[in-house]
Chains A and B, each alone.
Chain A
């Protein structure tokens, strides 16, 4: 296999899927509702990009996802690092986090609606809660695993607690924090879309259910493409930030 051909291989899979889709759309075996043609989806996608109202829906979703994510990042790093550096805090909070890890926090959403209202706040709160777990767990994992020899050397050379934290603990934990971010970013988008599909009057998730109930599958698929694109770009943004900030360690986050 030539290198060029190797690079093209994955596109072959995508192209095959698209061709099969288009064939299913053109064949007339199924209703247009089930397989709208690629052309009509592309058209709706184009309409999406130039219609301010639709772009506003995307902005609403993005702002909920990013808001919850940012809050979770601030609180999660703090809690995770505290847990990693203090046996007492870890002993108290670790059972709480590992015990409720597998519990779908989404189940709290109906209660959140009553507490925070049906607007953005309940959604941001749920995004915060779901994103908190991976970030806390990864920062805890990282802060706990700081090489002891490094800590001892820093103390030996007379570093104060603050200096040790800034120069040793934080750099050693940072790759793990980003690993947590990388898990949390898609989660943020998932939660926003779900909550908007369940109960909302705006946002991309709402647009999906609305397009479906008005039997515009092509429009719905165009929105799905937008959601997928945002999810992908968020992940790319996290990776880009990580590679810029953590120049001293090349860490594959899927691997931690």
Chain B
């Protein structure tokens, strides 16, 4: 299987390279050329600066959104009055594209990083909230009853029963949120920023620097991929007791 897979991808890249040498429009670069430009960019400071600026927006946003999503999601899953009060608002606003709030956030919090971090946090809040909420709801009642029977207090039940049972769902939500944080970060930077990978790709587009375009594309792709692996790695480490931690 591994050989077939590697062969499949290799032949895709080869086909691309071949098609390119037969003459494709100027905006399609060959894999070799993209690799060369990327290698060059890795040697200069510019790419790191922009990648750093992007991460400085997406990671705090992701952290804030995930934190409040997990906290409020757990609370809504456990406390009925809070569920009634808060959950309907979350579920109704869930399908609304949060990025439209960016212009308003720019007015309220300035056009600097704060508005971008907050819009990313807002977008990251939803998947984690919903997953934490359903994670708590899916806790087998019999486990809670047994814990109660054995004299566990509320705090103990939360820590030893509810949290472990909801954790896989919360991690699934975090994976979605992470992907979302990169999308929103990139969008916000394309719309309005003076640094970051999204800004870099707009500069490249405006000056027809196709090499730079592919470099920033590859960089944001690699960041997204690395972040996803990191969340999955953390999940495997933290939830090692779970049999099929996907």
Contacts and interface: CB of A to CB of B under 8 A. Distances in A.
Nearest to B135: A255
Interface in A223-254: 223-224, 227-228, 231-232, 234-235, 252, 254
Given A91-B5, A186-B97, A103 B224 contact: yes
A151 interface: no
B5 A92 contact: yes
A115 interface: yes
Interface string B179-218: 1001101110011000001100110110000000110110
A186 B4 contact: no
Contacts of A113: 205
Contacts of B27: 111, 114-115
Contact of A227 (B89, B100, B198): B100
B85 interface: yes
B1 A91 contact: yes
A220 interface: yes
Given A102-B228, A106-B186, A231-B95, A33 B107 contact: yes
B97 A101 contact: no
Contact of A110 (B9, B89, B204, B228): B204
B148 interface: no
A138 B102 CA distance: 30
B178 interface: yes
Interface range, B side: 35 or more
A91 B204 CA distance: 36
Contacts of A9: 81, 84-85
A79 B152 CA distance: 49
A16 B75 CA distance: 20
A102 B97 contact: no
Interface range, A side: 35 or more
Interface stretch (A142-150, A158-166, A193-201): A193-201
A97 B148 CA distance: 44
A104 B96 contact: no
Contacts of A198: 187, 190-191
Interface in B1-42: 1, 4-5, 8-9, 25, 27
A111 B217 contact: yes
Interface of A: 1, 6, 9-10, 12-14, 33-34, 88, 91-92, 95-96, 99-111, 113-115, 185-186, 189-190, 193-194, 197-198, 205, 208-209, 212, 217, 220-221, 223-224, 227-228, 231-232, 234-235, 252, 254-255
